[in-house]
Structure 1
């Protein structure tokens, strides 16, 4: 994969008190090895699923089928310019100071049907990936994305 094609589009995090269908945008994420995203409501629950990464292709597919989705609707923490489903389980990604290891591909969850009943099927192969944090660090929109 051409390194010039890999870039970060947006960052999202849901604080503990957040309730809603679209995760709020944030200026940075502080990724903490063995814990998760600082101040995120899912931190400390499952370190194998600490960070969710989605490729913009999922939003493109939805739009092509007339489904208007706001970024953050798919539950992602990091939205990237490429489809992370092209990567294999166990592969490593460095984003900014942090290093992540891909642990699993996201399953289709029922909350996606709230946006449109066709959405889960349409993005099944592009839903996103979960990663564990193997090196703590801060990620910003200006952070570089490197496949290791």
Structure 2
């Protein structure tokens, strides 16, 4: 999987997340919170599907983490088969301000350490898996 594809996928997800989180701080009603969760879930499915389409071996794609953090960052750890046939883990950190990026050194990069390490958020991993599975059929 090339870095450009991952960054493109990240940009798509960030755009979706910005729409989803535009009223995040004002989301005080149950309906607003449910709508936000639904939009974030759609981002997870889209990212899973797009990563599977960009993967060398879509069947090998595994999501370890896809979490929405309290600061609206999304932390993703996934692994897939590289062109040499080995499994490679990667992280993507998507920030609500439109910044973020890919880090090949999972769970030890600057973005990961600042926004994800030692923190927990709402888990959307299963939705990302569903998106990946739908793309690999």
Asked if TM exceeds 0.5, the reply is no
Task: Compute the TM-score of the two structures, normalised by the length of structure 1.
Answer: 0.28
Task: Compute the TM-score of the two structures, normalised by the length of structure 2.
Answer: 0.29
Structure with the largest fraction of strand: 1
Structure with the largest fraction of helix: 2
